[in-house]
Structure 1
Amino acid sequence: MSTDEQSSGRRHPDRRVLLRAAVAVPAAGAAVAGTAAVPAQAADAAGPSGGRFDADSPRFALAVLPDTQYLFDADSADPAPLRATFRHLVTERAAANIAFMTHLGDVTEHGTEAEIELAADTFRVLHGRVPYSVLAGNHDIRSSTDDQRGGSAYLSAFGPDRYRSMPTFGGASPDGYNSYHVLRAGGRQWLVLALDWRVSEQGLAWAQGVLDRHPALPAVLTTHDIAWSGDDGEARLSDHGQRLWDGLIKGNDQVFLALGGHYWPPGRTVLTNDAGHDVHVHITNYQDRYYGGAGMIRTYGFDLVRGVVDVETFSPWFLARDPAARSPLAAETLELTGPTDRFTLDIDFEERFAGFAPVPAPKPRPARAVMPRGTLAYWRFDASGTGAAQRPGAPLPDGTVVKDLTGRGNDLTVRRLHSSGAEALTWSPEHHRGQPAHASLRFDGGQGPDRGAVLTTADGAALNSEKFPRGYTIETFVRLPEPFEGNHDWMGILSWEGRNGDAGKTTGWSPLEPTCSLNLSPERFLQFVVYPHRQDADPTSWSHAVPVGRWMHIAVVNDGRRTVMYVDGSRIARNPAQPSTGIATLGKPFVLGGTQFDERFGQGFYGWMGDTRIVGRPLPVREFLTPLG
């Protein structure tokens, strides 16, 4: 909260400063206090619907289980910690949206039949409930051999037959020691390669074949030995890891994450593959910790919306105990929070996967496809709106007409403010991904001296006098520049000209402010203020601080009773409960790119603006201009 917010008891930010400053005075800090809220709508479900794994949710987790060998060590074996880990994965699968679990090898200490049988029995807690993969570590088989070693107790228990009933199982190499799984999560398919402790040339060829048959699937490679780390936490490829890197990973852009155990302490690094893209290489191993690692699990929490993978490491066995009953070492080890145990990877998934699985860009949509019943005005800045193709960066001269594509005659005409030059308004091909037209206008408004450009309807246009008695939906696409330089406090985005006092309104700070406007505060809060047609009131909606450098879709919806603002299809918090019916328009022009005070423009809008539409009724989110909203 800003100092001004803390010091003010006003009902909402002082938009009066907005309009006065827009003409003559640099804006002072705005006071922000809570306004009356519209009764809350139902929140998004906290977890996957129906209590089951949700393959379409953009948030899901990959669980990684490293060396468990000290829990299966001859007559000192104790599978209890691992059973607790598996019960946790089963119990929490829906809440954490766990897609898959992968074991990194060294299931047992000696690879004896007794140890393997006990481990295989322990895995039954998980079997049929959470899909998983297991690969051989050097303690599970004869360590001097590669995947052509032939039969073993490990292969009998953890070979292909174990996974055939799993819907994720894709197949295994002829020797049985390498396998792959295809899982659906985050609305797409992913590949998990589980490779032996020592992959032969035949095994590498098999793995390459799997990647070749699934060329559009992002892949996670798991193996026992890939990298080691010192106490600095910086992972370095081992000799075998270098062989995997050279022979498989670096030439296959699909592999973006490679995980191994075997060594401790844990570590991580980022390598660059032949395509110039990042590959994250991690060591996960806690067998050296108290109680042989106590079934320590690591979760990789993918969030495709935020573009991150949140990594956490903990022991469900210790966490499940009564805190008062935890031993000192259990309390110390139950959750690891060091920089190699708990961290976040920033991954732009669309960009990272574009080389092998590009997301098709949405095609432009014709105007007729986005003008539902009740559309009163629709403007776009491609050739259909401006009348001709434009050149990127080319100024739109004063007098340029942007057509109202509804045919209702609400055309807009360009004019610059004050002594602004050509650069105050230029054409751009940039656009919101979900925008119907692939074009926008770049406004270069600002204070000191006031500058900018506006587009206004003509005198007598039908929209100038529309009162919206049955409600309205006003939408636009906006992008603020990054960095957001200069003084742009309280700049206007769109408005109607005129003074609310001329409409007989008495509730506002000044009768000189317009009857309706969408503006941006110094804190980058969107402000929609309206003087209703029916009530003597000035209900105002306030958004959160909106981002710079990113397109957003803004919608204001009024149902004839009250107004709600949406940003990117998400209902904001501060929408007034105050009744609001219609807009007290005065027959004066509608404006894009600025807001008046006392019928004078100060600074203009600073940023990009795309398609803008006004509908004379409330629209549900599913009918907004962007199908992504």
Structure 2
Amino acid sequence: MAAVDNSPEPRHVRRRLVLQAAVGTPAAVAAASTLGTPGAAAATIGGRADTDSPRFTLAVLPDTQYLIDEGGSDPEPVRDTLNYVVRNQGRSNTVFLAHLGDVTEHGTEAEMRTADTVFRAVHGKLPYSVLGGNHDVSGDDQRGDTPYLRTFGPSRFARMRTYRGSSPDGYNSYHVFTAGGRSWLLLALDWRVSDAGLAWTRGVLAQHPELPAILTTHDLVWADDDGHAHLSGHGQRLWDGVIRGHDQIFLALGGHYWPPGRTTLTNDAGNPVHLHITNYQDRYYGGAGMLRTYSFDLVRGAIDVETFSPWLLGKKEHRRTPLEAETVELTSDVDHFSVSIDFAERFAGFAPVVVPPPRPASAVMPRGTVAYWRFDGAGLGEAGTDGRVIAPGTVARDLTGNGNDLRAQRLHDSAPEVLTWSAEHHDAQPAHASLRFDGGKSPDRGAVLRTGANAPLNSMRFESGYTIETFVKLPEPFEGDHAWMGILSWEGKARDAGKFSGWSADEPTCSLNLSPERFLQFVVYPVPVDADPTSWSHAVPVGRWMHLAVVNDGRRTVLYVDGSRIARNAAEYSRGISTLGKPFALGGTQFNEQYGQGFYGWIGDTRIVSRALRPEEFLTARRR
């Protein structure tokens, strides 16, 4: 922070935020075990980042000025932090390191030489960016030559694989790094961006309109003691001149002020932009080389943020002084938190998810396919419109040509809207269509699609194995009582197959259902024995498409959800299905040869194969 600060922010923002993070607490222990120890051997941790993994880390290093001060300081904590990030880049999947400015205290030639030496720990080993803070430079980015520019200007980054260029003055730069299977843009802007710098920044964004962008600068927001952040004068200039009008920018990070804080603002596209301040120079030992990690999880839709000192973590716990123990890890809600982001939705305005095109039926019928139904024009004979009622008697053709066509039937006195056509589908589903079932209880209502009386599937016993797949989505909100509703089944009573071991001899011999807790239940009566081995899933989600697969190899049955094997698969011997020559049904399960409620939700492509398939052969797989 500048010795003379003419910024308009109130004086109280300089006050120290007291944080408690005593050594030996569960959080500190967890950090040490999860993040590793700076003293650990590189061969043990090491490794390179996996740019295809949906989980990756952006490392952020704030103001280091008090540790790189020719008047008397210690750069070792900064060097330890950089070494730590390099050693752990494989373990934490760190793809980039961003410094937020104020590298040095006075910006002198001597301090820049020290900084140059310290940054050799990371140079050539991990992509990184550095930007100028008010202790490194003065004035705006048109200031001309400085020791900072000669040290951290374009020539330093010219051979870095992520570096894409700098503004003509050399003080603003940008990088493009790869993580999570896509490219990301990182802007490293000077502490005082001129009109020319703003124009250059807008030009960079215009050249990369499809890339999600992270903006880093030194002076962006300041925070109250409660951690709520506000735009600074320069931050307001960036907000008005760049951030609010460019939907790509979803995260903006700054240093300069303390205490740390965060806020979320809404841009001109109506989307959230997360703005954070991270700076710990006011804390013990000039911040002790404090590191902040932004761990992206594209699957969970979250960015998990942690703040800790690798230098202090490297000290043996019993040798840490009280101040060191207090500083080793920071766990307040502005230092250790998660940001929820639906990345696909947030980026849809500039980089919409490209859904794979539909695949023809011929591409998804491997050897042994006995039935395949889909609800697009190929399966129903005509393209649909959302909400179009599927009339009783409508045929969904078995595209294998084996004669297992399904025919729609309403249950009880159900209204026409109980079965409608939908354009909704799983992104990996071969056909871009589904059927919407509106089944329920009290009174029972629903619809099913059934094979004909003479369909070959009715009597197939699959003693050599089978794979049954379908795509399902449950509504959100999941309203009403739908306990034990059926997804698919074979009709008939277990007693007629000589099976009495199950919950009831009146239940069908094979069915996939949903329990009151939204656990999937696959129950089957094998051919040779009187048994009912049953598989149970976890509580499945609502409002999201799932791919379900039941795989039997002639000995055991395994249920998969989204390609993941569940834990509660039946251990009992299970060979074949004790079918009774009665119809296969989609959308319901009988009891005592009568249907009660029907399915509630969407059902998409459904396929049955007379052998066990591997997950890479499921309907979700795309051949390269």
Fold match by TM threshold 0.5: yes
- Whether contact under 8 Å (2:521, 2:534) holds in the other structure is yes
The answer for the alignment partner of 1:138 in structure 2 is: 134
Given the alignment of the two structures, is residue 367 of structure 1 paired with residue 347 of structure 2, yes or no? Answer: no
Q: 2:64 aligns with which of 64, 68, 73?
A: 68
Question: Is 1:464 aligned with 2:438?
Answer: no
Tell me which amino acid in the other structure corresponds to 1:61.
T
Q: Work out which of the residue numbers 106, 111, 133 in structure 2 matches 1:110.
A: 106
Q: Supply the distance in 2 between the matched residues of 1:106 and 1:628 (Cα, whole angstroms).
A: 49
Residue in 2 that maps onto 1:598: 592
Check if 1:81 corresponds to 2:80.
no
How far 1:209 moved relative to its partner? Answer: 2.1
How do 1:154-193 and structure 2 match up within 5 A?
154-193=148-187
Give CA deviations for 1:279-319 in whole Å, capped at 9, x if unaligned: 11111111111111111111111111111111111111112
From 511, 516, 527, the counterpart of 1:522: 516
- Contact in 1 for aligned 2:45/2:87 (Cα 8 Å): no
Q: Is the 8 A contact 2:547 2:561 kept in 1?
A: yes
Letter in 2 for 1:619: L
- Segments ≥4 residues shifted beyond 4 Å: none
Q: Which amino acid letter does the alignment assign opposite residue 453 of structure 2?
A: D
Q: Check conservation: 2:404, 2:456, Cα contact below 8 A.
A: yes
Match of 2:502 in 1: 508
Counterpart residue number, 1:432: 426
Aligned residue runs from structure 1 range 229-378, under 5 A: 229-378=223-372
State the Cα RMSD in Å: 1.7
Q: Distance in 1 between matches of 2:503 and 2:561?
A: 27
Q: Does 1:96 align with 2:73?
A: no
Greater mean alpha carbon deviation, residues 201-210 or residues 371-380: 201-210
CA deviation string 1:502-523 (max 9, x = no partner): 2122432322211100000111
Indicate the SS of the match to 1:75.
coil
Question: How many angstroms apart in 1 are the aligned matches of 2:585 and 2:593?
Answer: 12
CA contact (8 A) 2:409 2:449 kept: yes
- For 1:196, the equivalent position in structure 2 comes to 190
Q: How far did 1:611 drift?
A: 1.0
CA distance in 2: counterparts of 1:628 and 1:344, whole angstroms: 33
Pick aligned residue for 2:384 from 374, 379, 390: 390
Deviation (angstroms), 1:262: 0.5
Aligned-pair CA distance for 1:610 = 0.9
Q: Partner amino acid for 1:247? A: G
Alpha-carbon distance between aligned partners in 2 of 1:613 and 1:210, rounded to the nearest angstrom: 48
Deviation at 1:607, TM superposition (A): 0.9
Given the alignment, which residue of 439, 448, 451 partners 2:445?
Answer: 451
In the TM superposition, 1:464-483 aligns within 5 A as 464-483=458-477
Aligned-partner residue type, residue 538 of structure 1? D
User: Is 1:589–2:583 an aligned residue pair?
Assistant: yes
Structure 1 pair 49/441, CA: closer, same or farther in 2 (3 Å)? farther
| Residue segments in structure 2 that go unaligned for 5+ positions in a row | 1-43
Please identify, of 464-473 and 329-338, the stretch whose mean Cα deviation from structure 2 is larger. 329-338
Inter-partner Cα distance in structure 2 for 1:338 and 1:565: 42
CA drift at 1:49: 12
Amino acid at match of 2:87: T
State the alpha-carbon separation in 2 of the partners of residues 512 and 249 from structure 1: 64
Following the alignment from structure 1 to structure 2, what is the Cα–Cα distance between the partners of residues 282 and 462? 63
How far has the Cα of 1:390 moved from its partner? 3.0
**Among the aligned pairs, what percent are the same residue?**
70
- Following superposition, the deviation at residue 452 of structure 1 comes to 1.3
- Number of equivalenced pairs: 580
In structure 2, give the amino acid aligned to 1:402.
Answer: A
Displacement after TM superposition at 1:149 (Å): 1.3
Distance, in Å, in 1 between the alignment partners of 2:46 and 2:319 is 35
Tell me how far 1:359 sits from its aligned partner. 2.2
Q: Specify the SS of the correspondent of 1:96.
A: coil
Q: Can you give the 5+ residue segments of structure 1 that lack an aligned partner in the other structure?
A: 1-47
Equivalent of residue 616 in structure 2, options 589, 606, 622: 622
Determine the structure 1 residue equivalent to 2:121: 125
Q: Give CA-to-partner distance per residue, 1:213-259, whole Å, 9 cap, x none.
A: 22221111111111111112221111111111111222222211111
| Contact 2:210/2:248 (<8 A) preserved | yes
1:491 is matched with which residue? Answer: 485
1:474 counterpart SS class: strand
Tell me how far apart the structure 2 counterparts of residues 508 and 243 of structure 1 sit (CA, whole Å).
70
CA deviation after TM superposition for structure 1 residue 534, in Å: 2.7
For normalisation by structure 1, the TM-score amounts to 0.90
SS of match in other structure, 2:91: helix
* 1:52-63 equivalences in 2 (<5 Å): 52-63=48-59
Q: Structure 2 CA distance, aligned partners of 1:163 and 1:179? A: 9
Provide the rounded CA distance (Å) in 1 between the counterparts of 2:245 and 2:480. Answer: 46
Letter aligned with residue 105 of structure 1: G
Correspondence for 2:29: none
Deviations 1:543-568 (A, max 9, x none): 11000111111010111111111111
**CA shift at 1:51, angstroms?**
3.2
Q: Is 2:409 aligned against 1:418? A: no
Partner of residue 211, structure 2: 217
Mapped to 2, the partners of 1:178 and 1:418 lie a distance apart of: 70
CA distance in 1, matches of 2:227, 2:381: 60
Q: How far apart, CA to CA, are the structure 2 residues paired with 1:49 and 1:513?
A: 55
1:50, distance to aligned residue in structure 2 (A): 9.6
Amino acid at match of 1:129: K
| 1:22 aligned residue | none
Q: Distance in 2 between matches of 1:605 and 1:219?
A: 43
Q: Report the secondary structure of 1:51's partner residue.
A: coil
Alpha-carbon separation, structure 1, partners of 2:383 and 2:200: 52
TM-superposed deviation, 1:98: 0.3
In structure 2, do the counterparts of structure 1 residues 628 and 478 end up closer, same or farther at CA, with 3 Å as the change threshold? farther
Per-residue CA deviations over 1:86-113 (Å, capped at 9, x if unaligned) read 1210111001000100100011111122
Q: What is the aligned partner in structure 2 of residue 612 from structure 1?
A: 606
